[in-house]
Structure 1
Amino acid sequence: MGISGEFSVFDMINSATRSKTGVSIKDYTEIWLSPYEIKEAHQNTRQEYKNIDALADAFLLVGQEQPTVLARVNGEYRIVDGHRRNRANILLIERGYEQFKKVRYFYKDMTENMYELSLLAGNGFTQDLTPYEKTELAGRLKKVLEKMRDTGEIEVKGKIRDIIGKYIGETSGQMARIEKINNSLTEEAKEQFREGNMGISAAYEASRLPEEDQKIIAEKAAEQGGVEGKEIAAIVKERKEVEKQAKKAEEFAKQAEKSLKETRKSEVGAAQASLHAERAAENADQSAGVMIGMNPPIVSDSDTEKNGEPSPEEIKQEATFTLQQLLIQAEKITYNELLVLQDIMMNCNNRG
């Protein structure tokens, strides 16, 4: 079953930190081992181990009051708290003090995740960390807590970022900056942050820049022996202004393209309307040419004189012409005239 509570995740490793103050270590087992059997953490929060000679001299003078605290992970003894102490033990063996070939430790069986959490929590409580080390501590704590939560090893209430912030003594705003650094700062810039050529403000401002700009900042920090956050903030501001202007230009170009398309569409519509009008006019002219331009059939005098009246073919041509003319003037025909035309049509029908 997982362990719940906002800070109860740290109760599991508090015993490691209490060893610093001489309080008895609960749930840990005493064991005597050779310092050479002990494995250091593959990645400890503390980047440097200073004053090992002085610590070794102190052990000779007053003895080792605080035992090194270990985790036994898959049968391997690893240091949770006391890397400097173990190095001092080894230094004393190399100086020829055989009584340090076996020294007193406290150990506890742990999983990989539990070991990582114990190691990080011990470092956070017991050491004055640089801004870089604190940032690394926060990032690693976040990863292991999320992993343990997801595997059910612990139950975390509340936001992990807020829990870590309270634990390492940082505000919510500062934790947001630390998270940004861990997520976005390039390796070149992290190296300058680690070397102290960037403070945490400069590292945060750099993390807001694209990778190519971070590379330039890192080179500048290395050449000058440092770079201020305000310098990087100015670059960030300039970058944002350039991006803002580029965005405006892009929006203007899109609007111009849209207007151009609408203009072309209107021009095409007008051209099509003009073409339709021309074709309609041509059709009207053709119709008028058929109906109005047709000359009435000419009845020859010889035909009239021979028969005394037009021939059937001549009458047909005359009737066709007359009907065509009537079609043109149809809106002017009166009702009585229409009755006459209908009588003519009925007489034609009766003739079969």
Structure 2
Amino acid sequence: MAKFDLKGLLNDRSVPDRQQDQKIVYRNPKDLIPSEENFYNTEKLERLKQSIKLLGILQPLLIENRDGKDYVIAGHCRRKCCIDLLNEGNDRFSRVPCIYKTHSELEQDAGKEDDIVRQIMIIQANCYRDKSDWEKMTETLKMEELVKELREKTPMEGKTRDILKDLIGTSNGQLGRYHAINTNLCEQLMSEFEEDRIKISVAYEASKLNREYQKQACELYEETGILTLDDIRDLYRQQEAEKGIPGQMTIETATGQNRPPEDDTEIPAETQIERFYESTNKNMKNYIIQEDKNMTIFMLSNLYGSARVRNGHLNYQGSTAGITFNPGGVFEHELSWQSLAKNLIGKYGHKRPVKMATINAPEPAITLTESEAVKAFCEAYPEKLKTIMRICRRCKDNGEAAKAVQLEFAPCGFSAVGGYKVNYRFKSFSAGLEIEVNNEKVSMKYGRLIVEAKNLYDPLSPEFDVELKKPETKEDEGPVKCITGQSGSGLCGAAAYCDKKYTCCSQCPDDCNIRCGWIPEKSCQPAVETLDEKQQEDHSGDPAEMVKHLRNTDKIPDAWPEDLKDIPIPSITAINDILDDAEQDLKGYLAIADEKLPAKTILKHQLIAGGLRIIKNLVEDCQEEPEQPEQPPLPEMRNNDQRKQWLREYKSWGLWYTDHHTGTRYYKYDFNNGARLIAEEYDPEPRKESWWTPTESYSLHLVGGPEPERSGGVPKWTYHSKYHKFPNSETELVEFLKEVQKNGKA
């Protein structure tokens, strides 16, 4: 008996040959019966419906007559669109073109298996339509089932998978993915897959998860409304972390008999180094234990120089230069063979061989959950908890809050604390963070930190409000502030060594050896000192004398208003300190303004802060311009090194001007030829947690003077008639100094 050739029978006759035997007939679409075997989606038909309404039926429906009734083989969507249009009043669709399916050689050879062949024909008739991933999976699995049924009843040529590949173009790998999704995917995710809300790549990765983690994936989808491939892979990594990791490969695994599928899961490099050591052979372990560095390097480069392992327990790529853990991933870590040998010898050198665990002995499972880790972190670092909650208050959603927290805690991409019971590592936004509690580590994204923190705490709770500054009392005044305005730190150095009740040496009658050096005489009263009763009595009769005593000067600046003549002119340090306190108080009252505070109270503090701002501007206007330092003569410079050294020692010229807004300092040197050399000096931004020590940076600008001579059409230095943002180089300034010395115009 000849074998049944399904592929050949389906492809022997061309479409034109078949259509020659077929005649177009017209039938009422309501009289046509859809096939029960049709599983394709017939709901989203709006575009097809509009096309049929404009252009009509371009391809006749394929129907079959069974028991005096017409059944649709191909054209279920067209039939439904015509019925909808007919119900809307388009009578021209009361008759639609149809073609009866002829009995082919396939059905004649199949004999009694007419029902199986009919279902195969339905799938074949829909080969060229647009299908969702779920429809492709369903038709492939259905076709496989039909071919197997037909094979049981009729001898067939070829393997089942080869027939499927020829009929519907499904590869063996894709068929395996379809089986994994159909077998392992939970009902809820399968429903979303059927509705085309999640793609096949997400569905396949989710099918690798067990039921517990698939449930978490469903909860994440309900929470965010989207499920990405990265979300599923994060869950898969957590699932794999809970599994037991074998200590050493068996002979079957080493020879490829039980070779697991490749797995690109990223594993910390330190963990992989430990597992790498456990997987090495006895000779390699002996070289490491005996600290034979040369032989260890030689063995590593020869045994693993071209190795590529991706099995879920190890993920590395060897090369002639070294080894790369997690190649191409976020946690990629590269080591040379020398560095790896040094690492292994440092850990296991001069140690007794590690007893290998049996193949079925799992590692202790990590019991620390994300929620527990976040709770421990918040309890250990309450200030950071307050920062997180305040950020959550001002952000509109968790995603915005997550980015703000990352920028707050790790603005440079990394911030860590170690050596405590609860440690943390904040990394970049994509890398996430790591919390360690009692030597158990949990990694998570910043978004998960926000979700867990908000589950544990209420961001609107009063405990996370901005604390108002408490008014100072005598018990907690802290260091005494300098009232002379001369102290660079703003604090009184003499008060720290004195046990007298006075707040300033000017009030003390004793002439001790720790007396303040800025008060030359006992009778001199500092500018803004509070007057005691005796002083008020001494000067109460003459306001002019009192003003003179308060200012400690006979000259009142013209910039000081007449209305403030009875108020002493404070120093810049004093007014800045008082204004800062007033600004903090105002900020605190405005923060609780909605708690029914009297409007007069808030207005009072606003007026105080505003008045102090105005007084600060007046004080700055009253400051006398500092005397310009005398310019040193230009030294005799015999070579370029001496000229460069003179340029670098620009501070010897004397400070010319300081920009208090930016902290930039300017030094100048005026030449007799009308040129002025300006050194612009600024403090660079300090780098934290680095061996590098920041130094002062400067740039030199030459302004005015004679225009430079040209050599070969090129000027000896860049000429600027006015101050320009682009500085002059040290080389061209050396040429300028040569010209100055040559002409004797220093």
Shorter-chain TM band: 0.5 to 0.7
For residues 1-352 of structure 1, what are the structure 2 equivalents within 5 Å? 4-5=4-5, 7-8=7-8, 10-11=10-11, 18=15, 25=19, 28=22, 30-42=24-36, 43-46=38-41, 48-59=44-55, 63-73=56-66, 75-108=68-101, 111-124=114-127, 126-152=128-154, 155-158=156-159, 160-245=160-245, 251-252=360-361
The verdict on how the C-alpha distance between 1:236 and 1:113 changes in structure 2, with shifts beyond 3 A counting, is: same
Looking at structure 2, the residues matched to 198 and 92 of structure 1 have their Cα atoms a distance apart, in angstroms, of 32
- Kept after mapping to 2: 8 A contact 1:185/1:207: yes
Looking at structure 1, the residues matched to 180 and 151 of structure 2 have their Cα atoms a distance apart, in angstroms, of 22
Deviation at 1:32, TM superposition (A): 3.3
> What 5-or-longer segments of structure 2 have no aligned partner?
108-113, 248-356, 363-746
* Secondary structure class of the residue paired with 2:126: helix
Deviation at 1:245, TM superposition (A): 4.6
* Secondary structure class of the residue paired with 1:66: coil
Looking at structure 2, the residues matched to 178 and 68 of structure 1 have their Cα atoms a distance apart, in angstroms, of 30
Of Structure 1 and Structure 2, which has the larger fraction of its residues in strand? 2
Deviation at 1:35, TM superposition (A): 0.9
Deviation at 1:96, TM superposition (A): 3.9
Deviation at 1:6, TM superposition (A): 6.6
Q: Deviations over 1:276-320 (max 9, x none)?
A: xxxxxxxxxxxxxxxxxxxxxxxxxxxxxxxxxxxxxxxxxxxxx
* Secondary structure class of the residue paired with 1:214: helix
* Secondary structure class of the residue paired with 2:209: coil
Please report the TM-score for the alignment, with normalisation by the length of structure 1. Answer: 0.57
- Kept after mapping to 1: 8 A contact 2:45/2:81: no
Looking at structure 2, the residues matched to 184 and 74 of structure 1 have their Cα atoms a distance apart, in angstroms, of 41
The one-letter code sitting in structure 1 at the alignment partner of 2:185 is L
Of Structure 1 and Structure 2, which has the larger fraction of its residues in helix? 1
- Kept after mapping to 1: 8 A contact 2:29/2:95: yes
Looking at structure 2, the residues matched to 94 and 202 of structure 1 have their Cα atoms a distance apart, in angstroms, of 40
Deviation at 1:25, TM superposition (A): 2.4
Deviation at 1:117, TM superposition (A): 1.0
The verdict on how the C-alpha distance between 1:66 and 1:5 changes in structure 2, with shifts beyond 3 A counting, is: same
Q: Deviations over 1:194-246 (max 9, x none)?
A: 23332212111111222343233233234323222343234334323423259
The verdict on how the C-alpha distance between 1:222 and 1:80 changes in structure 2, with shifts beyond 3 A counting, is: farther
Q: Deviations over 1:43-96 (max 9, x none)?
A: 43245323244133234xxx5342101133555432222223223332343344
The verdict on how the C-alpha distance between 1:214 and 1:105 changes in structure 2, with shifts beyond 3 A counting, is: same
CA RMSD between the two structures: 3.4
Looking at structure 1, the residues matched to 179 and 189 of structure 2 have their Cα atoms a distance apart, in angstroms, of 15
Deviation at 1:119, TM superposition (A): 1.2
The verdict on how the C-alpha distance between 1:238 and 1:5 changes in structure 2, with shifts beyond 3 A counting, is: farther
Deviation at 1:169, TM superposition (A): 3.6
The one-letter code sitting in structure 2 at the alignment partner of 1:117 is I
Deviation at 1:28, TM superposition (A): 4.8
- Kept after mapping to 1: 8 A contact 2:62/2:73: yes
The verdict on how the C-alpha distance between 1:145 and 1:129 changes in structure 2, with shifts beyond 3 A counting, is: same
Looking at structure 2, the residues matched to 145 and 4 of structure 1 have their Cα atoms a distance apart, in angstroms, of 11
- Kept after mapping to 2: 8 A contact 1:31/1:104: yes
* Secondary structure class of the residue paired with 2:33: coil
- Kept after mapping to 1: 8 A contact 2:7/2:166: no
- Kept after mapping to 2: 8 A contact 1:193/1:203: yes
Residue identity over aligned pairs, in percent, reads 22
- Kept after mapping to 2: 8 A contact 1:52/1:87: no
* Secondary structure class of the residue paired with 1:70: strand
Deviation at 1:250, TM superposition (A): 9.6
> What 5-or-longer segments of structure 1 have no aligned partner?
254-352
How many correspondences in the alignment? 241
- Kept after mapping to 1: 8 A contact 2:244/2:361: no
The one-letter code sitting in structure 2 at the alignment partner of 1:57 is K
* Secondary structure class of the residue paired with 2:46: coil
